[in-house]
Amino acid sequence: MHQYHQKFGKIFKMNLGTFKSVQIGDPTLLESIFRKESNYPRRLEIKPWKMYRDYRNEAYGLLTQEGQAWQTMRKAVQRNLMDPKEVAKLDLKMNEVMQDFVTRINNICHEKGCVDDLYFELNKWSYETICFILYNRRCGLLQEACGEDDLKFIKSVKEMMKYLGPLMVTSVNLHRKLNTPQWQKHTQAWDDIFTTAKRFIHERLENISKSQKGDILSKISEQGQLSKKELSAIFSELQIGGIETTANALMWAIFNLSQNYNAQEKLYEEIQNTLLPGDLPTSQSLKQMPYLRSCLKESMRLTPTVPFTSRTMEEDTNVGGFLLPQGTIVMINFHAITWNEDFYTDAKKFKPERWLQDKHTLNPFASTPFGIGRRMCVGRRLAELQLQLALCWQLLKSTLL
């Protein structure tokens, strides 16, 4: 998309199969859309996901629901997921999983410090962490004797994502009517995802005691605002986010630091100067590490975990001198903005210092890796804490090459 924007400009129309959209690659246009949003902003409709839920009579989750129903759902979960004080309490659980991850990596590393499939190991780490946080459940994915049942959810997510793209740009209604192989495999993957989420929810709710309510599910369930179907839809999406986006973000952060040794050394020094010998990083100690936060911001700017965010126009709207009719899908392409020299000096270089030295001059709409506004990623604070702790552990235990 970056190359298309270089050729066609900051806003253009694109038709890809049955998928029609307006592509945007400018932060001022993103800001103009944001300023006109209602209380219930609409994102890109993920039709294959909705079709599956209608087909199986499942509830919509935060990524598929719209309007007042979406807002009710969001309010029910966001205090436990977005409140900084609540999220900060989760550092002990994250560190417990991180200790197992470090042990796991040490056991499977080759002589030269290489791991055969680091991304899959990061998937397991992020899934283990999110399940511990959501359900107070350890799945054992970081143990040597990990079974296929434990890995099934991760593999099902990858299978579902494999067919999502093709189903988005063709008629998903036709796929369902013809029962195509793509629809069958997409459906089977979601069946497995929901089966796992429902099992985890059922087992946790059956075994809650008053002394064990530190997990997200227990807190949200106790409020009584959501049905079990809604919990299944929301928590399956949270588990998916925990696997894909967090693992992807950490992988790119590790890569970017490995390619920029001076930044890696500077970050290591900051961590060493902040923590006493033998101490583990905590949510409190992270507050004293501005360079760590800058490294993650810069990594997500240079190599965004998700390539775009989206909006569906709720009414006829003027954007950049063009009238976009109600219902128009707008795709905001991150690379087109974050790699643009108009918004970042040395845009394709990894320079964490820019977030410390130039933070007052940088356009806040030029880097929005977690989305923006009322539909910002509900797991943002969880992910940020998890990533910051993980980078501390990685730098303390190894050199990234």
Q: Where are the domains of the chain?
A: 1-35+307-368, 47-292+377-397
- Structural contact between residues 264 and 395, judged by C-beta atoms closer than 8 angstroms: yes
Q: Helices (H) and strands (E) in the chain — how many of each?
A: 18, 6
Q: Is the C-alpha dihedral spanning 198, 204, 207, 210 positive or negative? A: negative
**Tokens linked to 346:** 């040395």
Sign of CA dihedral 326, 304, 152, 139: negative
What is the residue-level pLDDT of the chain in tens, covering all 401 positions? 778 888 888 999 999 888 999 999 999 999 999 999 999 999 999 999 999 999 999 999 999 999 999 999 999 999 899 999 999 999 999 999 999 999 999 888 887 778 889 999 999 999 999 999 999 999 999 998 877 777 999 999 999 999 999 999 999 999 999 999 999 999 999 999 999 999 999 999 988 765 466 799 999 998 889 999 999 999 999 999 888 899 999 999 999 999 999 999 999 999 999 999 889 999 999 999 999 999 999 999 999 999 999 999 999 999 999 999 999 999 999 999 999 999 999 999 999 999 998 777 899 999 999 999 999 999 999 999 999 999 999 999 877 75
The length of the chain is: 401
pLDDT at 148: 79
- pLDDT value at residue 242: 84
Instruction: Identify the pLDDT of residue 210.
Output: 52
| DSSP code string of 286-310 | HTT-HHHHHHHHHHHHHS-SSSEEE
- pLDDT of res. 401: 59
Quote the pTM value: 0.94
Tell me phi and psi for residue 112, to 5 degrees: -90, 10
Query: Is 377 annotated to bind ligand?
Result: yes
Q: Is 11 helix (H, G, I), strand (E, B) or coil?
A: strand
Q: How many CA atoms does the CB half-sphere of 117 hold within 13 Å?
A: 5
Partners of residue 331 on adjacent β-strands: 23, 310
Contact 128, 103 (CB under 8 A): no
Express each pLDDT in 319-338 by its tens digit.
999 999 999 999 999 999 99
Domain 1-35+307-368, CATH among 3.40.50.261, 3.30.43.20, 3.40.50.720, 1.20.120.1200: 3.30.43.20
Under 8 Å CB-to-CB from 167, ≥6 apart: which residues?
Answer: 47, 48, 175, 182, 183, 186
CATH number of 47-292+377-397: 1.10.630.10
Whether 297 contacts 352, CB under 8 Å: yes
Query: Strand 19-24 vs strand 329-333: parallel, antiparallel, or unpaired?
Result: parallel
Dist CA 166 CA 93 (whole Å): 38
Residue 371 near residue 33 (C-beta atoms within 8 A): no
Q: From residue 19, how far is each of 165, 168, 324, 361 by CA, in Å?
A: 11, 7, 16, 37
Which letter does DSSP use for residue 215 in this model?
S
